[in-house]
Amino acid sequence: MTQAFYTGVSGLKTYSEGINVASNNLANISTVGFRAYNAEYSNLFDKALATASRGLGNDVGVGVTVSTTSMSQKQGALQITDRSTDLAIEGDGWFGVEGNGLSAYTRNGSFGFDSNSDLVTEDGFYVLGTMGNNIKGTTLTSQLDAIPLASSASVTKLRFPNTLTYPPVATTNANFMGNLGTQAGIKTMSASLIDSQNNKNNLHLSFQLSETQTPPGTQWDVTAQVESLDGKTVYSKQTGKVSFDSSGALISTTLTSIDNNGTPVKINLGKNHSGVTATANVGISASSSSDGTMGGELRGYDINQNGDVIATFTNGVQSAVGKVAVFHFQNDQGLERLDGNKFRESANSGKAFFVKNKNGENIIGAHLKNFALESSNATTEDGLTNLIILQRSYDANSKSITTADQMIQKALNMNAGK
């Protein structure tokens, strides 16, 4: 009878712990990035009973205990959001965050920029990653398509300036295409140029048949002039000669470059029939292209599906300036829970590391989805089912204690009546 007490008490204690685990899962069904836990049970020592016919063959259990609680690795459902800074991990991996003197790992990718343009979680933890090192002060020093992950030991807070300028890229090449024909008259072409002071200027070319012609083919005098958009300021002026053969193909030019308010610009008229031609019985035409980019001011930061933080500027240019890191562990089950969706590494989990590709380069090692968050992987149906089973087990152990108590009372009453 005392054995029934021990068994019942151990059951009450064990299933009470199980109910706590199941209740915590249910309470966090709406917690983004939550990882559910499952209680695992084992028997306490068994007592072997001897039988006359079979010797040692029957075992009587002396109770049950919670041996461990294991983390569920099931992928949580993805919920779509309207923010590009929200990230969801599909597959294995953890975001690294830092704050309140703690380094932690989470599946909750609900990120945003604070007043200092630091990338942070909803509760103010800094998101860890690799900076692009292409920002000096408030100026972007180079345009990058993507940022490679540094080593896991050298990740840092992702911090960006509130104001950022994309400096102007001055024009260095102007390409001209078209047909001058063979008839007399002034033929013009023009191209847009960007100077180093972020001004937009015009380059005008004027072609006129030379007074002295040397057949076959035609020779033209060309004047190039760089001026401001309003035409009030002339920055430079150059003249030269252009020669074409009898088929209209360009064979030579002495006009090769011009100054654009301090920056030399190469004038490319093409070669042979590619570029500028002087062909009879073909319509007069003119077009041009040039490099260079106007400077711009920061519109905002976004995060793409590669985890790159992208700066967008008013001139339409975009550049990667940082990368969100995704960490991995040898044993995710060994992580220690700090709260609903934050964990820290332990001796059982091992140190955080980055996945490497075949070239030995650090990579994300999972698929990231922006404009999305990973929901809790705890579900209502599983939680309620487990809770019902645990409550019934708890009630059964409670009844076993009540029954043992009644049996002891009867035994005592029988002894008292002798």
Q: Which pLDDT band holds residue 8 (cuts at 50, 70, 90)? A: low
Q: Which residues pair with 202 in a beta bridge?
A: 192, 227
d(CA 213, CA 197): 42
pLDDT tens digits, 261-277:
999 999 999 998 999 99
Instruction: Indicate the domain borders of the chain.
Output: 2-73+377-416, 81-166+297-374, 176-290
d(CA 252, CA 214): 14
Highest-confidence segment of 38-52, 192-206, 377-391: 192-206
Compute the Cα dihedral for 156, 158, 164, 170 and give only its sign.
Answer: positive
Mean pLDDT to the nearest integer, 373-381: 87
Mean pLDDT to the nearest integer, 272-285: 92
pLDDT tens digits, 24-52:
888 889 899 999 888 776 666 555 544 55
Query: Hunting for tokens 């292409």 — which residue is that?
Result: 134
Mean pLDDT to the nearest integer, 160-175: 95
Query: Hunting for tokens 């040397």 — which residue is that?
Result: 214
Better-scored residue on pLDDT, 35 or 415: 35
d(CA 159, CA 162): 10
Q: What percentage of the chain has pLDDT greater than the value 90?
A: 67
Angle, in degrees to the nearest 10, between helices 380-416 and 2-27 = 160
Compute the Cα dihedral for 39, 40, 44, 48 and give only its sign.
Answer: positive
